[in-house]
Structure 1
């Protein structure tokens, strides 16, 4: 007979990301962030390869990354709206954790499984931050798909990639609920 955890299940059934642009200080201290990072590091990891690492972005790093996003957007000849959107994520940030997909050589564990593990870290980090009472949001955006932005801004080089930026802070407003998937439409039951 299973040993249910109703509080955990209720949390998962009602969890809701908070838009990053609505998150304000205060943000978690290093001491408050450590158990959130620890929870994320317990994600499924076939082969115990740890095909991911974490970069905590805070303070003046946001201004530097915002300027770099604008510079890279202009170098890439993006339109003003794209540049502004890429810059805004960093202009508005106060604390974020970049989950870096860091593939490992393995004859047994395919890269796709390693990539899924990095995605699992993103979701675990997001949920751990929410469970700890913070607002949190998982984003990417065009800058993290630009090799020069990654190299200059985060010291990330191929074959590494950003799986996600998890913004964490104090929510200034509770967002309205949004439509959820229709389980009957997306679920198939196989019994034979």
Structure 2
């Protein structure tokens, strides 16, 4: 089993979310994915994150909200299209909200990294279950006003990632991987 897990990690790859179609995981299967994914550093049960599951109707509402918000802030047509884009194409997504807690023991940076680890956990758990998965965000998710309206984010919450999950119809080719000889220093 350990070798199978390592082989998965060596070959895993995200697929472009724009290629996903239905079906998507049902509620029970998504709960299995999220249960596996939340086995991340939670720092003494602090759990400095929360999750929002977006279905197709929620995606449509967010696409409209992204367009409205982009128009209100004077965005150009390209930015408006990008803002709508991932929500228009989405079938199902899990939004990971970084939700740091006041703590004398757990540094803010570690709490934020825990939310990032959760994003990667959701991504890998969905892939391991045979679904297509892609971790995206986009400019609206990093806009505090949009995040407040869309995801009820309050200070100091931020969107760590939006993990799209669906059925891959046409697998994308693997991308070039980093040249580790240029990135590792052995000390």
| TM-score, scaled to structure 2 | 0.97
5+ residue gaps, structure 2: none
RMSD across aligned C-alpha pairs, in angstroms?
Answer: 1.0
Shift of residue 35, structure 1, vs aligned partner: 1.0
Shift of residue 148, structure 1, vs aligned partner: 2.2
Distance 1:44 1:112 in 2: 13
Equivalent pairs, count = 187
Shift of residue 181, structure 1, vs aligned partner: 0.6
Counterpart residue number, 1:19: 16
5+ residue gaps, structure 1: none
Distance 2:181 2:148 in 1: 44
Counterpart residue number, 1:35: 32
* Aligned-partner SS, 2:100: coil
* Aligned-partner SS, 1:81: helix
Q: Does 1:126 align with 2:119?
A: no
Counterpart residue number, 2:136: 139
| TM-score, scaled to structure 1 | 0.95
Poorly superposed stretches of 4+, deviation over 6 Å: none
Shift of residue 24, structure 1, vs aligned partner: 0.7
Distance 2:59 2:163 in 1: 14
Shift of residue 39, structure 1, vs aligned partner: 1.1
Q: Give the one of 70, 74, 79 matched to 1:73.
A: 70
Shift of residue 159, structure 1, vs aligned partner: 1.2
Counterpart residue number, 2:98: 101
* Aligned-partner SS, 2:134: strand
Q: Give the one of 114, 117, 126 matched to 2:114.
A: 117
